[in-house]
Amino acid sequence: MSFQIHIADSDVRFPCAPDETLLDAALKAGIELPYSCRKGVCGNCAAAVRGAPVARGVANAEAVPDGQELLCQCRPLGDLTIAPGHWRRSEPDARKQLRVKVFRHTLAAPDVSVLQLRLPTGQRAKFRAGQYLQVRLPDGSRRAYSMANAPHESDALQLHVRHVPGGQFTQRLASLQAGDELDVELPFGQVAIDPAAPTPLVCVCGGTGFAPVKSLLDDLAKRRSTRPVVLVWGSRDRQGLYLHEQVARWQRSLPGLRFVAAVEDADDAAALQAFHGRVDAAITTLAIDAALADVYCCGAPPMVNAVKAVCLQQLGLAPERFHSDAFVPGPAA
Ligand SMILES: Cc1cc2nc3c(=O)[nH]c(=O)nc-3n(C[C@H](O)[C@H](O)[C@H](O)COP(=O)(O)OP(=O)(O)OC[C@H]3O[C@@H](n4cnc5c(N)ncnc54)[C@H](O)[C@@H]3O)c2cc1C
């Protein structure tokens, strides 16, 4: 048995089994909706749901706007209508499972690995800037990592992985070297930033939240974009800004780019002439009209929540212009 799910203001309907989430059923039916963590934490998949009631799973109450539901956590109890902020049809079979080979494993900081992965000969990885892959671990669980390379470099994948003490994939990383293989599936995630839009873009990231931002800015550089972009990269100390030299390269290829480093260590902030403090404080000093911008924020969930609160409550940003990937820890849902 399955229920019929209708997308408001369209003639699109798709089936959803009672034990399936509305998000999973939509993705299976080739409908792309905004989402990121799939764990009820980030709030990206929030939408109004009308008609039959739903069975709710775990959800971070702060991430659920009034009158909406998290589609990654709802199972239908009858036919219903959903009203996502935006949606589109996806390409059938766009997602691939691949066995990739480690080409290079380097340390960009004492606790950050950069993995360069090669795809099997003749295979291409199709993804959009801001999307992520899932690595399958030997026990069958999965971890999510954002692609750090631009989509046009489709015969390889670059990942930036922060070492989490005691973490399962972190332990695998310790011995991972050139020639080793990993099972991955991609793409996942739906960051609805139009790379060709002319509006100012504010990218805010903490630590390895830099990875999807790098993909996005490499993509803009490839498009020779003149879009005004402010990059705010936050870290506890200077080592956390682990690919600082990449920013200098963009300053040559992206004429609209302005870079703000936000460093919590006072000595390192002074040495780098960086903003001393956290990214959520740094963005209040930017003197940009955030109400006219798109904001893209990636990193640890508390950082993403703090930036969202400042953008929406202090800077007047419309909620639909705040895009985020919260690096929610633990196995991927
Ligand atoms: C959409 C998405 C994209 C992501 N992209 C990236 C990325 O590009 N780079 C990246 O480094 N990470 C990213 N992550 C986080 C990543 O998926 C893993 O959660 C992380 O690498 C830890 O995996 P692990 O197997 O080493 O640790 P686990 O075995 O999952 O965790 C071990 C223990 O550490 C805790 N823990 C895990 N992570 C953290 C943390 N960050 N802070 C505090 N405690 C923690 C766990 O709760 C657990 O108790 C992303 C997560 C999501 C949801």
Residues 77 and 146 in one domain: no
CATH, residue 115: 2.40.30.10
HEC string for 179-197: CCEEEEEEEECECCCCCCC
Q: 89, 124, 154: which is the final residue of a domain?
A: 89
Instruction: Identify the pLDDT of residue 192.
Output: 64
Ligand 1 contact via 329 beta carbon (within 6 Å): yes
Give the atom of ligand 1 at the shortest distance from the alpha carbon of 188.
1
| pTM summary value | 0.89
Residues 19 and 70 in one domain: yes
Ligand 1 centroid from CA 63, angstroms? 19
| 93, pLDDT greater than 70 | no
Residue 258 CA to residue 91 CA, distance in Å, equals 35
Kind of pairing between the strands at 112-118 and 69-70: unpaired
Amino acid type, 281: A
Ligand 1 centroid from CA 241, angstroms? 18
DSSP for residue 61:
G
Ligand 1 contact via 82 beta carbon (within 6 Å): no
Ligand 1 centroid from CA 174, angstroms? 15
Instruction: Identify the pLDDT of residue 118.
Output: 96
Instruction: Identify the pLDDT of residue 142.
Output: 94
Ligand 1 contact via 157 beta carbon (within 6 Å): no
Residue 168 CA to residue 328 CA, distance in Å, equals 15
Amino acid type, 41: V
Residues 181 and 240 in one domain: no
Residues 76 and 14 in one domain: yes
Residue 248, in any domain of the structure: yes
Ligand 1 contact via 242 beta carbon (within 6 Å): no
Q: 89, 107, 140: which is the final residue of a domain?
A: 89
CATH, residue 245: 3.40.50.80
Digit-coded pLDDT (tens) for 108-166: 999 999 999 999 998 989 899 999 999 999 999 999 999 999 999 988 999 999 999 99
Give strand ranges (E) for 35-123: 46-51, 54-56, 69-70, 74-76, 80-83, 88-89, 96-109, 112-118
| 63, pLDDT greater than 90 | no
Residue 212, in any domain of the structure: yes
Residue 333, in any domain of the structure: no
Q: Residue 1 — pLDDT band, cuts 50, 70, 90?
A: confident
Residue 332, in any domain of the structure: no
Whether the link from the prior residue into 302 is cis, omega within 30° of 0, is: no
Residues 321 and 225 in one domain: yes
List the Cα angle 24/328/292 in 5-degree steps. 85
| 291, pLDDT greater than 70 | no
Q: 71, 89, 107: which is the final residue of a domain?
A: 89
DSSP lists the bridge partners of residue 98 as: 184
Residues 17 and 56 in one domain: yes
Residues 255 and 279 in one domain: yes
Residue 63, in any domain of the structure: yes
Residues 158 and 58 in one domain: no
Q: Using CA positions, which residue lies closest to atom 41 of ligand 1?
A: 329
Ligand 1 centroid from CA 146, angstroms? 11
Residues 167 and 224 in one domain: no
Residues 206 and 241 in one domain: yes
Name residue, tokens 């409550």. Answer: 313
Say if residues 121 and 127 touch (Cβ distance below 8 Å).
no
| 103, pLDDT greater than 90 | yes
Residue 33 CA to residue 36 CA, distance in Å, equals 10
Residue 193, in any domain of the structure: no
What stretch of H or E contains 20? none
Residue 130 CA to residue 260 CA, distance in Å, equals 20
How many structural domains is the chain composed of?
Answer: 3
Lowest mean pLDDT among 37-51, 81-95, 119-133, 134-148: 81-95
Amino acid type, 236: R
Q: Could you tell me the CA-to-CA distances from 272 to 81, 115, 172, 237 in Å, in that order?
A: 52, 27, 34, 10
CATH, residue 81: 3.10.20.30
Q: Residue 194 — pLDDT band, cuts 50, 70, 90?
A: confident
Write out the residue range of the structural domain in which residue 23 sits.
3-89
Digit-coded pLDDT (tens) for 208-254: 999 999 999 999 999 999 999 999 999 999 999 999 889 999 999 99
Amino acid type, 12: V
Digit-coded pLDDT (tens) for 309-321: 999 999 889 888 8
Q: Rounded mean pLDDT of the chain?
A: 92
Residue 148, in any domain of the structure: yes
Residue 207, in any domain of the structure: yes
Residue 153 CA to residue 219 CA, distance in Å, equals 10
Residue count (the chain):
333
Q: Around Cβ 107, how many Cβ atoms within 10 Å?
A: 12
For the segment 70-81, the average pLDDT, to the nearest whole number, is: 94
Say if residues 46 and 63 touch (Cβ distance below 8 Å).
yes
Kind of pairing between the strands at 88-89 and 181-188: unpaired
DSSP lists the bridge partners of residue 330 as: none
Instruction: Identify the pLDDT of residue 217.
Output: 96
DSSP for residue 85:
S
Residues 66 and 136 in one domain: no
Say if residues 192 and 34 touch (Cβ distance below 8 Å).
yes
For the segment 176-197, the average pLDDT, to the nearest whole number, is: 88
| 277, pLDDT greater than 80 | yes
Q: Could you give the residue ranges of the DSSP H alpha helices within the chain? A: 22-28, 168-175, 210-222, 244-253, 266-272, 279-282, 301-309
Residues 72 and 103 in one domain: no
